[in-house]
Amino acid sequence: MSSKKHRKKLKRIYLKTQLEQIIALNIPSSDYALKLSEAFRDFGRAALNAMKPIIQELHK
């Protein structure tokens, strides 16, 4: 699997999880939802950055 495809798949899984969590919490305040989504986005970015060297190593 190419790195680009892998990232796309991870992003799709991550976004689905994020949506499920927001639905599960049934958030009334859009401000809270926004903060939560920003936190998830930052977490996802950090996770992908941490995996980059591993993914690159696998594709050598």
pLDDT at 56 over 80: yes
Query: Mapped to the 3 state alphabet, what secondary structure does the chain carry?
Result: CCHHHHHHHHHHHHHHHHHHHHHHHCCCCHHHHHHHHHHHHHHHHHHHHHHHHHHHHHCC
- Supply the pLDDT for residue 25: 67
- Supply the pLDDT for residue 29: 64
pTM of the predicted model as reported, rounded to 2 decimal places: 0.38
List, for residues 11-50, the tens digit of each pLDDT value: 777 777 777 776 766 656 677 778 888 888 888 888 888 8
Phi, psi of 22 (to 5 degrees): -65, -40
